[in-house]
Homo-oligomer: A and B are copies of this chain.
Amino acid sequence: MKIILASVGKPHEAYVKAGIEDFTNRIEKYFSVNWLIIPPLKNAASLSEKDLKKQEATAILQQIQKDDCLLLLDERGKLLSSPELAQLLQQKANESTKRLLILIGGAFGVDETVNKRANYTISLSKLVFPHMLVRLIIAEQVYRACTILRNEKYHHI
């Protein structure tokens, strides 16, 4: 299974870049993984929130293949524990999923079309985190999930 960590926005900001790269490299030991950074729309400032989400959705959906499993991170999603996230990864790998795409939703959520395409919608926390920090958090959580599945020492129960 290939894991694709996807996010609409600018390249990783300096304050999270080293951590994201480190955890992403660590995930490589378990799954093929890469980041898909979809550049923000150039005319974003002139668009209404609704139109912005709609146009972002078009850019996002273009990147998603028919058989991809789409895991959407959205604050309206289900709160999972780290072992539950690990279980979900295991289940997808067992089902011979070719590509698991984990998409970080925007600050205002995502357009309805993306919501509908998502196979799972999960929330990292009741707290709201900045987009850049979510990238670091999800990279760490996917790495943690890998170590949980292999019964490795990183995660304390």
Q: Which residues of A contact B (CB under 8 A)?
A: 14-16, 18-19, 22, 79-82, 84-85, 107-108, 124-130, 133, 136-137, 140-141, 144, 155-156
Query: Counting chain B CB atoms within 10 Å of each CB, which of A15, A124, A155 scores highest?
Result: A15
Indicate how many identical chains form the complex: 2
User: What residues on B are CB-neighbors of A144 within 8 Å?
Assistant: 128
- Contact between A81 and B126 (Cβ–Cβ < 8 Å)? yes
- Contact between B80 and A127 (Cβ–Cβ < 8 Å)? yes
User: What residues on B are CB-neighbors of A125 within 8 Å?
Assistant: 79, 124-127
Q: What is the minimal beta-carbon distance from A87 to any residue of chain B, in angstroms?
A: 13
- Contact between A22 and B18 (Cβ–Cβ < 8 Å)? no
Q: What is the minimal beta-carbon distance from A29 to any residue of chain B, in angstroms?
A: 17
- Contact between A140 and B136 (Cβ–Cβ < 8 Å)? no
Q: What is the minimal beta-carbon distance from A146 to any residue of chain B, in angstroms?
A: 14
- Contact between B156 and A127 (Cβ–Cβ < 8 Å)? no
- Contact between B140 and A129 (Cβ–Cβ < 8 Å)? yes
User: What residues on B are CB-neighbors of A137 within 8 Å?
Assistant: 127, 129, 133, 137
Q: What is the minimal beta-carbon distance from A16 to any residue of chain B, in angstroms?
A: 7
Closest Cβ neighbor of A156 among chain B residues: B107
> 17 A-B pairs, CB-CB below 8 angstroms?
A14-B18, A15-B18, A19-B133, A79-B79, A79-B126, A81-B127, A81-B128, A82-B126, A82-B128, A84-B126, A107-B156, A108-B156, A124-B125, A125-B126, A125-B127, A129-B137, A130-B140
User: What residues on B are CB-neighbors of A16 within 8 Å?
Assistant: 19
